Amino acid sequence: MARLLTIMARLRDPANGCPWDLKQTYSTIVPYTLEEAYEVADAIARGDFDELKDELGDLLFQVVFYAQMAQEEARFQFADCVAAICDKLERRHPHIFGNVVAADADTVLKNWEALKSHERQQVGQHSVLDNIPQAMPALSRAYKLQKRCANVGFDWPDVAGCWDKVKEEVLEVEQTQADSPELAEELGDLLFAMVNVVRKHKLDPEAVLRAANSKFEQRFRLVEQALAAQGKTPEQSDLAEMDALWQQVKQLSRC
């Protein structure tokens, strides 16, 4: 860790540092941080643990980069980040570092959320929806908003209520004109309602959609391969032919 911090300091040295690293700001680094986080998730999804090791290093470097810039401005240091997370973990695990009893994961999660709520109130955040980043992917943010509300009892009692809402939203979309300015709003409501269904099944909507994306990609690539075997590209085919191949691929994937 000391070696990494030393390397970062050299890269940002005003006299002899790297011109690219010196040019960066908190804002310009954010896209790289998000990209590295997605690459970590991708390595995990593929079960590539050799790559995961490298990707986690890349993600750690992002933290070190922010901390170095903050240190240059006399705001905080990397050690302060470490101390803050250590304090938080001890504070939010009273069943490990205190006298609270938590027999299962659900109880731990309830205690965690209660502690987070108390901490938000202490810093002047009084809404249960405070501190949910606007920059989160919309699907993840919808899940987070719904989860926060569910924690205070604003939730359907079971998944049937969620499905009723989805059906209601589907009907509203169907009744909205295609060129209507309200269409985007109605489609957004439908997507939001579907996130509720996923959440009620105790699944992560990002993970669910990521898996669906992967399945679609894998199947379409097989369609492309089947066309290539006939000396064709998708552009040289038509929907009927590609759909027939899609159904074959789909059937094979179930065998």
The residue count for the chain: 255
> Given a cut of 80, is residue 90 above it in pLDDT?
yes
State the number of CA atoms in the 13 A half-sphere of 213 facing the CB.
8
pLDDT band at 228 (very low <50, low <70, confident <90, very high): very high
Cβ-contact 100, 114 below 8 angstroms: no
Q: Tokens for 224?
A: 């492309």
| Rg, the chain, Cα only | 24
In the chain, % helix, strand, coil (3-state, to 5) comes to 75, 0, 25
Residue 56: is its pLDDT beyond 90? yes
pTM of the model as a whole: 0.67
The pLDDT score that the predictor gives to residue 244 is 95
110: confidence class by pLDDT, cuts 50, 70, 90: confident
In this prediction, residue 220 carries a pLDDT of: 95
CA-to-CA distance for 106 and 113, rounded, in angstroms?
11
Structure confidence at residue 45 (pLDDT):
86
The pLDDT value recorded for residue 119 is: 80
Whole-number Cα distances in Å, 84 to 76, 81, 88 = 11, 5, 6
Q: Is 70 exceeded by the pLDDT of residue 255?
A: no
